[in-house]
Amino acid sequence: IAKAMEEVDVKESESDQLERDLIYKVFRSDLPAAHMIMLRELIEKIGDISDSAERVSHRIEFISLKKRI
């Protein structure tokens, strides 16, 4: 389980970096402001999924640790 938890943490960190990079690129583009805002919101919502996966991973780890005690 520990290896899987570590993998989730790594992927979530990569996702956070990708989210920041994409938002930066969106706002450096020539898109209309309304499109930029909608894309930023979409990117953030996708990032929320990654954050949720990390929280679930931590809960699983906690439950696993509790069962060992």
For the chain, the DSSP string reads -HHHHHHHHHHHHHHHHHHHHHHHHHHHS-S-HHHHHHHHHHHHHHHHHHHHHHHHHHHHHHHHHHHH-
* pLDDT, average across residues 37-54: 96
pLDDT of residue 15: 96
Is the model's pLDDT at 69 over the cut of 80? Answer: no
Model confidence, pTM: 0.82
* pLDDT, average across residues 2-14: 92
Closest CA to 22 of 40, 35, 45, 46: 40
φ, ψ of residue 29 to 5 degrees: the values are -85, 175
pLDDT of residue 65: 86
Residue recorded with tokens 């520990």: 2
